[in-house]
């Protein structure tokens, strides 16, 4: 299945919802979903924002929906876990994912 259609269905959106957000017609969205047309860069960026995924994911170039960005603290933290066991790394990863999810909810509430 085309990633645009897959993402639209995951978000429970209609083609008309996507069309309105990206400023195109429903027919164009249908063409994108069928692979009959390719979205331009501006449209890909809008779709990326709408679905909260990377452009590479939309294009099928990546299996990862959204790559996190690294800053100096992230890099220092990552290098500090080298000595942990595989199980402890997994535990730490789960804790971080939960903290990030909580933060996203807080951010949404603030907006």
> Do 51 and 76 share a domain, yes or no?
no
Same domain, residue pair 46 and 77: no
pLDDT of residue 72 exceeding 70: no
**Per-residue buried b or exposed e for 30-51, using 16+ beta carbons within 10 Å of the residue's own CB:** bebbeeeeebeeebbebbbebb
- Its domain, for residue 103, covers 72-110
pLDDT at 54 over 60: yes
pTM above 0.95, yes or no: no
Q: Is residue 52 part of a domain?
A: yes
Average model confidence (pLDDT) across the chain: 86
Count of domains observed in the chain: 2
Q: In whole angstroms, what is the distance from residue 10 CA to residue 48 CA?
A: 14
Cα–Cα dist 11/3, whole Å: 12
Q: Is 84 in a helix, a strand, or coil?
A: coil
pLDDT at 66 over 70: yes
- Of the pLDDT bands very low, low, confident and very high (cuts 50, 70, 90), residue 2 is confident
């Amino acid at each position: 299945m085309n990633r645009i259609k897959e993402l639209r269905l995951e978000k429970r959106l209609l083609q008309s919802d996507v069309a309105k957000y990206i400023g195109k017609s429903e027919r164009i969205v249908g063409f994108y979903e069928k692979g009959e047309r390719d979205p331009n860069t501006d449209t890909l960026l809008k779709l990326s924002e709408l679905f909260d995924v990377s452009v590479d994911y939309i294009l099928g170039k990546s299996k990862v929906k959204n790559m996190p960005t690294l800053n100096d603290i992230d890099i220092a933290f990552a290098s500090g876990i080298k000595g942990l066991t595989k199980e402890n790394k997994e535990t730490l990863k789960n804790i971080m994912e939960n903290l990030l999810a909580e933060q996203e909810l807080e951010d949404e509430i603030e907006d």
